Structure 1
Amino acid sequence: MSAEYLMSCCAECSNGNGCQGGNHAVAWVFAKTQGIVTGGDYHSHIGCQPYQLQPCGHSADSKRVSCGELLPSVKAPVCENTKCLNPFYKKNTFSKDHKFVKEAYVITNDEKAIQREILQRGPVAAGFVVYADFPSYKSGVYHRMSETAVGGHGVKIIGWGTEGGVDYWLVVNSWNTDWGEKGLFKIRRMTAGVDFEQMITFGVV
């Protein structure tokens, strides 16, 4: 599914803020009622509407242009809801390319239910409070040490485990593969201090 199409065309997901964040529970409702066209990563030429915004660096040691430097000048793409933007994509017309979920659900602070859903149907989405120490994560199991909240963030939980006696979730971030553990991170399960399990959402296709 096209992340860019969802970000730019689901105004109710983000109150029209686009890149400035949104509500992933509402995004699943959009996927159920309106559908989302296909799409891939930046410069992937995959799907109807692949991502157009260039990757940027989220940590101080990233070799990419800092996201902070780009944000003032980069705006969320304008919604294109009439045609595919990828000239190489010939599989479907825009109207026939929409993918839908049958149902959307929310799990709140229930570790076993989250694990059961991942086992039975696959990854789930999580939203959490980002603190100032999170962008500099390198490896290991993260838990909050900072007292400074800097915003909210949405990610994808793909599994869980235990490292050094600490239970964790294994999570896919959207900050490129040069961040964290090749784009992934581990976070304390149920005790990270960032409201990580407060609203877990998923869709059923």
Structure 2
Amino acid sequence: MNPQLILLISLISCLIVTACQALTDDEITSEWNTFLERTKKSYRSPVEASRRLAIFKENLETIESHNALFEQGKVTYKMAVTQFTDLTKEEFSQYVNKFKLSQRPKQSENIYKANPNLTVAAEIDWRNYGAVTYVKNQGQCGSCWSFSATGSMEGQSALVNGQPLVLSEQNLIDCATSQYENYGCNGGNMDGAFEYVSYYGIDSEEDYPYLEYQSDCEQRESVFRIRSYADIEHNEQSLQQAVSEIGPISIGIDATNELQNYASGILIDQTCSQQVNHGVLVVGYGSEGGYDYWIIKNSWGDYWGESGYFRLIRNYNACGITLMASYPII
């Protein structure tokens, strides 16, 4: 990692520790009630509810102190209450890692590599071209891989076929199973989903709606099929060129810790690793305030992040962003 970035991260860590601000009981109660109303959460007992409130309060204080630093220009992103604010960092990490992305035994025969003679766009946002559907929510099912896969297929349908479609994650969860190294709500991978769709096609979300659990496979009426898929060489130059040339790209990242209470801005995460555990979708990239960033669509609903999206620092292979990048070929 760039020494200047390491120095910035170290400075941020020190500042966060020293920037605490106290919240009143009324403020905490108001935030807690809003949280419960928005998330529709309930707890097994008063004891559990009290424990969750204590964790929420601690996280809320961290959010407030972090955001004070943001207002001073000392950090690059804001925090906010999310559906995960009643979890400890360890619990959030366990939640993400419970549904690990599964690695395929080998890469696709099609490998996308950067062409040094190709000029890429300085910035691109495929949301502006009708290539990205609305933000979805995987809920408690570890089906991130299916949302990432449908996202890149929806993009190709719109950009190549000129046919905007909303595709069915449930179809993949139920049907693209263990022979494709996918395990329904217990994790999977995007390449296996693409391989399944190359054989059988995929239904629309309207015809095969999301259940948030794995059910029996009922292939109904395929509306989209691909020929194959390609894996992208493990570097950000190739990934940037693919996003610029191809469209939205399926990727895997390490989603632990700092994404828990992310709200907006460019995420520089000093805690994430190169061990990918969450499937998401790169829909563009750009630059702001001297920082290059990726625009990433998540599957945690539009209550989280920048209306369901986040921006991640670019050109540092942050959080393993290049290690599981692929796209469908139609």
Query: TM-score if structure 2 supplies the norm length?
Result: 0.46
Q: 1:149 to 1:162 in 2, by over 3 A?
A: closer
Cα distance per residue 1:129-185 (max 9 Å; x no partner)? 222222211111112222689971001111001122111110100000010000000
Kept in 1, the 8 Å contact 2:181–2:192? The answer is: no
Asked if the contact 2:198–2:227 (Cα under 8 Å) also holds between the matched residues in 1, the reply is yes
- 1:114 maps to 239
User: Which residue, 198, 203, 210 being the options, matches 1:51?
Assistant: 210
Compared with structure 1, are the counterparts of its residues 198 and 148 closer, same or farther at alpha carbon in structure 2 (3 Å cutoff)? closer
Q: What are the Cα deviations for residues 5-64 of structure 1, in whole angstroms up to 9, with x where unaligned?
A: 11221113774531222111221111112221111xxxxxxx2102123xxxxxxxxxxx
Distance of 1:110 and 1:146 partners within structure 2: 20
Higher helix share: 2
Q: Give the gaps of 5 or more residues in structure 1.
A: 40-46, 54-75, 83-93
Q: Does 1:79 align with 2:229?
A: no
Q: 2:300 aligns with which of 170, 175, 186?
A: 175
CA displacement 1:89-148 (0-9 Å, x = unmatched): xxxxx2x42521112000032333323332333101001122222221111111222268
5+ unaligned residues in a row in structure 2: which ranges? 1-166
- Checking the alignment, whether the CA contact within 8 Å between 2:275 and 2:319 is kept in structure 1 is no
- Answer yes or no: is 1:188 the counterpart of 2:329: no
Cα distance between partner residues in 1 of 2:307 and 2:268: 19
- What is the aligned length? 164
* Corresponding position of 1:125: 250
What is the alpha-carbon distance in structure 1 between the residues aligned to residue 186 and residue 278 of structure 2? 10
Among the aligned pairs, what percent are the same residue? 26
Provide the C-alpha distance between the structure 2 equivalents of 1:6 and 1:52, rounded to a whole number of angstroms: 12
Question: What CA distance in whole angstroms lies between the structure 2 residues aligned with 1:114 and 1:132?
Answer: 24
2:305 alignment partner AA: G
CA distance in 1, matches of 2:179, 2:305: 27
Quote the Cα distance in structure 2 between the aligned partners of 1:179 and 1:2: 22
Query: Bigger shift: 180-189 or 107-116?
Result: 107-116
Q: What letter corresponds to residue 77 of structure 1 in structure 2?
A: Q
Larger radius of gyration: 2
Aligned pair 1:105/2:230, yes or no? yes
**Partners of 2:252 and 2:275 in 1: CA distance:** 14
Aligned equivalents of 1:171 and 1:18: distance in 2?
Answer: 23
